[in-house]
C-alpha cells in the first residue's frame, strides 16, 4: 500500500511539474505578441512626432513616441498610453488622432521586445518601465493634467502606475482582473495549482488608486470576457464607473456612440 501511495505521489508531482513547464511556456505566448522593428525603422504618421528613448532598469531600452496636439508647443494636458499585447507603436501610435480632438498631447511606449524596445521581459522590469514613462511625462506636464490610459494588457501598467503616482484620472479599456483570472477564463478545466510568472493583478492595485477610475468593456469581448473584467467591479470606489458597451467586442469600442459620449465627457471635464 505504501508503494502504491508513493507512485501516486510521484505521478501527481510529475504532472504538476510538466503542467508548470507547459503553462510557463504558454504564458509568454498567451500574453505577448510583439512586432519587432529594426532600430533604423522610421515611423510614418501624418502628425509630427518626437522619438524618445528611455533607459530603464536591468538593461531596458524603451522606445516611445510623443505627439503634440499643437505642433511645436507643449500643451496643457497629456495622455500617457499603454497599449495592448499585439503589434508595436507602428500599429498603436495612430491613436493620437483620437486624443487630439480633445486637445491632449499623446505619449506612448513600446514594451520590452516590442518594436524598437529592448530588454529582458519580466513583470517587475515592465512595471519599472511604466514608471519611467510616467516620470518622463511628469517632466513636461503637471500630475493633475496627466490621464493614464490602459488598453487590454496595457491596463496592468496603467493601473500599477496609478496606484503609485498622482494623475488626473485612470481610464481602462477592455481590462482583465488578473492574468490568472484571464488564463482560467480560457482554460477552466485546468486545476488551480500552476505557477504564474506574470500576475498583472489589476484587482490588487485598483483599490490603491485615489483618483477617478473609468472602465470600458464590451459585452461581446472574446479576448477579455466580460465575466473576467467584471471581477474589477468590487474594487472600484464610490464615484468610479464601469461602462458596459452593448455589442462591443475587444477592438471596436470606439465605433459605439456610448463610448464616444462617455470619453468626451471624461476628457473635456
**pLDDT tens over the chain, length 269 residues:** 455 544 444 433 444 444 554 456 677 888 999 999 999 999 999 999 999 999 999 999 999 999 999 999 999 999 999 999 999 999 999 999 999 999 999 999 999 999 999 999 999 999 999 999 999 999 999 999 999 999 999 999 999 999 999 999 999 999 999 998 998 878 777 766 667 789 999 999 999 999 999 999 999 999 999 999 999 999 999 999 999 999 999 999 999 999 999 999 999 97
CATH number at residue 263: 3.40.50.1820
| Shared domain check, 121 and 192 | yes
| Shared domain check, 90 and 14 | no
| Shared domain check, 124 and 54 | yes
Closest to 97 in 3D by CA, of 64, 67, 137: 67
Tell me how many domains the chain contains: 2
* Domain membership flag for residue 38: no
Q: Residue 203 burial by CB count (10 A; 0-12/13-18/19+): exposed, middle or buried?
A: middle
User: What confidence score (pLDDT) does residue 12 get?
Assistant: 39
* Domain membership flag for residue 237: yes
| Shared domain check, 198 and 225 | yes
Distance (Å, whole) CA 85 – CA 194: 22
pTM of the predicted protein model: 0.91
Give the β-pairing of 61-67 and 105-109: antiparallel
User: What confidence score (pLDDT) does residue 191 get?
Assistant: 67
Contacts of 15 (CB under 8 A, 6+ apart): none
| Shared domain check, 9 and 121 | no
| Shared domain check, 223 and 163 | yes
| Shared domain check, 99 and 4 | no
Residue 12 structural domain: 1-31
* Domain membership flag for residue 224: yes
User: What confidence score (pLDDT) does residue 252 get?
Assistant: 98
According to DSSP, the residues that pair with 165 across neighbouring strands are none
Amino acid at each position: 500500500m505504501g508503494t502504491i501511495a508513493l507512485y501516486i505521489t510521484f505521478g501527481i508531482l510529475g504532472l504538476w511539474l510538466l503542467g508548470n513547464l507547459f503553462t510557463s511556456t504558454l504564458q509568454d505566448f498567451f500574453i505577448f505578441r510583439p512586432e519587432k522593428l529594426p532600430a533604423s525603422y522610421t515611423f510614418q504618421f501624418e502628425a509630427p512626432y518626437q522619438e524618445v528613448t528611455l533607459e530603464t532598469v536591468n538593461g531596458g531600452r524603451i522606445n516611445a513616441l510623443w505627439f503634440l496636439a499643437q505642433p511645436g508647443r507643449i500643451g496643457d494636458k497629456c495622455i500617457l498610453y499603454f497599449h495592448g499585447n499585439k503589434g508595436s507603436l507602428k500599429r498603436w501610435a495612430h491613436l493620437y488622432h483620437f486624443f487630439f480632438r480633445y486637445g491632449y498631447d499623446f505619449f506612448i511606449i513600446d514594451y520590452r521586445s516590442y518594436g524598437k524596445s529592448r530588454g529582458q521581459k519580466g513583470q517587475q522590469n515592465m512595471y519599472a518601465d511604466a514608471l519611467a514613462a510616467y516620470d518622463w511625462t511628469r517632466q513636461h506636464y503637471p500630475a493633475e493634467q496627466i490621464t493614464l490610459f490602459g488598453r487590454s494588457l496595457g491596463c496592468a501598467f496603467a493601473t500599477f502606475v496609478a496606484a503609485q503616482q498622482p494623475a488626473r484620472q485612470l481610464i481602462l479599456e477592455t481590462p482583465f482582473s488578473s492574468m490568472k483570472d484571464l488564463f482560467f477564463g480560457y482554460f477552466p478545466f485546468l486545476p488551480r495549482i500552476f505557477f504564474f510568472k506574470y500576475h498583472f493583478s489589476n484587482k490588487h492595485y485598483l483599490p490603491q488608486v485615489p483618483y477617478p477610475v473609468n472602465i470600458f468593456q464590451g459585452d461581446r469581448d472574446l479576448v477579455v470576457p466580460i465575466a473576467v473584467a467584471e471581477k474589477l467591479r468590487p474594487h472600484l470606489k464610490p464615484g468610479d464607473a464601469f461602462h458596459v458597451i452593448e455589442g462591443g467586442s475587444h477592438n471596436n469600442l470606439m465605433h459605439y456612440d456610448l463610448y464616444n459620449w462617455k470619453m468626451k465627457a471624461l476628457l473635456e471635464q
